[in-house]
A and B are shown apart, each in its own frame.
Chain A
């Protein structure tokens, strides 16, 4: 069923171009799409005004599935996760799912343990604690 036999995000086998690509968390996309939507609403120009169905569905989705709402909090989440040697893909999955324990984090993103950088449990725990602090003070 899948296009590429070897693809497996759990092992970060997602294709070189995606490993290097910039990934965005739901909360970041929410800010981008909401801003776009406002811009388009304000534009009196009909030609610039249309949003596609894909846009509408995605906007609905990211609004519902963003763990962080405040732009400062969103920025902080990115900053904190960036301190750990994570691939963009891994960073975003963690920022989207907000695992509460080290076990959960590893279940969500198995590659953080397997890909040679071997993040130790302590580092992962610290990262999760920092994230939950942002949530508390949002």
Chain B
């Protein structure tokens, strides 16, 4: 799910970058914020950081004692992405293995759909392997699939989420809407 959140942040401007004139300062703060934001990538609570939409407030700068940098507390709005257990979402298969497939859902690169969560599907070996079901369209690379989130895991070191998804439930499975 995509979220619009308001976040407080501390932007630190090095002393040598503090140019006179408030416009230059605001710009320096914004650039720094955008850079920090992109570098942060994601947090466990807010999910993946996509884009800053508005800068709402820049507070008074505080000089940091030992470095001479100035810290500006800011408040901004951003779009983030987070998935929740039980959520129904759509994604694209990008890798087919014997025991399941990996899907891309939003910025999540590896949402895993295990074969044990694909009722009725069997693995078909070949140069381009896929999963086949008598009653439903096949699940292959580049196929769009609607899934339910079974579990999520935050990986602190990589700063990303892993997800376990499944097809157990009504109206889940490959979707064949015209590609846009």
The interface of chain A, by Cβ under 8 A from chain B, is 1-3, 7-11, 13-14, 18, 21-26, 28-29, 32-33, 36, 47-48, 50-55, 57-58, 61-66, 69, 89, 92-93, 96-97, 99, 103-104, 107-109
- What are the residues of chain A within 8 A of B179 when measuring CB–CB? 64
Given the known A-B contacts A32-B51, A58-B107, A97-B146, are A2 and B2 also in contact in the complex, defined by CB atoms under 8 Å?
no
The answer on a CB contact under 8 Å between B169 and A23 is: no
Given the known A-B contacts A26-B2, A66-B180, are A93 and B88 also in contact in the complex, defined by CB atoms under 8 Å?
yes
The answer on a CB contact under 8 Å between A23 and B42 is: no
B122 to chain A, nearest CB (A): 25
The answer on a CB contact under 8 Å between A61 and B106 is: yes
Q: For chain B, what secondary structure do more than half of its interface residues adopt (helix, strand, loop), or is it mixed? A: strand
The interface of chain B, by Cβ under 8 A from chain A, is 1-5, 31, 34-35, 38, 41-42, 44, 48-51, 53, 79, 81-82, 84-92, 104-107, 109, 144, 146, 148-154, 164, 169-171, 179-180
- What are the residues of chain B within 8 A of A29 when measuring CB–CB? 2, 50, 79
Q: How long is the Cα–Cα vector from A99 to B171 in the complex, in angstroms? A: 9
The answer on a CB contact under 8 Å between B2 and A92 is: yes
Q: How long is the Cα–Cα vector from A54 to B82 in the complex, in angstroms? A: 12
- What are the residues of chain B within 8 A of A25 when measuring CB–CB? 2
The answer on a CB contact under 8 Å between B151 and A58 is: no
Q: How long is the Cα–Cα vector from A78 to B115 in the complex, in angstroms? A: 36
Show 13 A/B contacts (Cβ-Cβ < 8 Å), sorted by A. Answer: A2-B152, A3-B44, A7-B85, A9-B149, A22-B4, A24-B2, A24-B4, A51-B38, A64-B92, A93-B88, A96-B90, A104-B170, A109-B88
The answer on a CB contact under 8 Å between B53 and A7 is: no
Q: How long is the Cα–Cα vector from A2 to B40 in the complex, in angstroms? A: 22
The answer on a CB contact under 8 Å between A47 and B31 is: yes
Interchain CB contact (< 8 A) of B3 among A22, A26, A97? A22
Identify which of A36, A54, A96 gathers the most chain B CB atoms within 10 Å of its CB: A54
- What are the residues of chain B within 8 A of A47 when measuring CB–CB? 31, 35
Given the known A-B contacts A54-B48, A54-B49, A61-B106, are A23 and B90 also in contact in the complex, defined by CB atoms under 8 Å?
no
A68 to chain B, nearest CB (A): 10
**18 extra A-B contacts, CB within 8 A, seeds A96-B89, A97-B90:** A1-B152, A2-B151, A3-B44, A3-B152, A22-B5, A23-B2, A24-B4, A28-B2, A29-B50, A32-B51, A52-B41, A54-B38, A57-B106, A58-B107, A61-B106, A65-B90, A104-B171, A107-B88
B46 to chain A, nearest CB (A): 9
The answer on a CB contact under 8 Å between B42 and A108 is: no
The answer on a CB contact under 8 Å between B50 and A54 is: yes
Given the known A-B contacts A54-B41, A103-B170, A107-B170, are A97 and B88 also in contact in the complex, defined by CB atoms under 8 Å?
yes
Give the 7 A-B CB pairs with smallest separation, nearest first. Answer: A1-B151, A9-B86, A10-B86, A9-B87, A9-B84, A8-B86, A52-B38
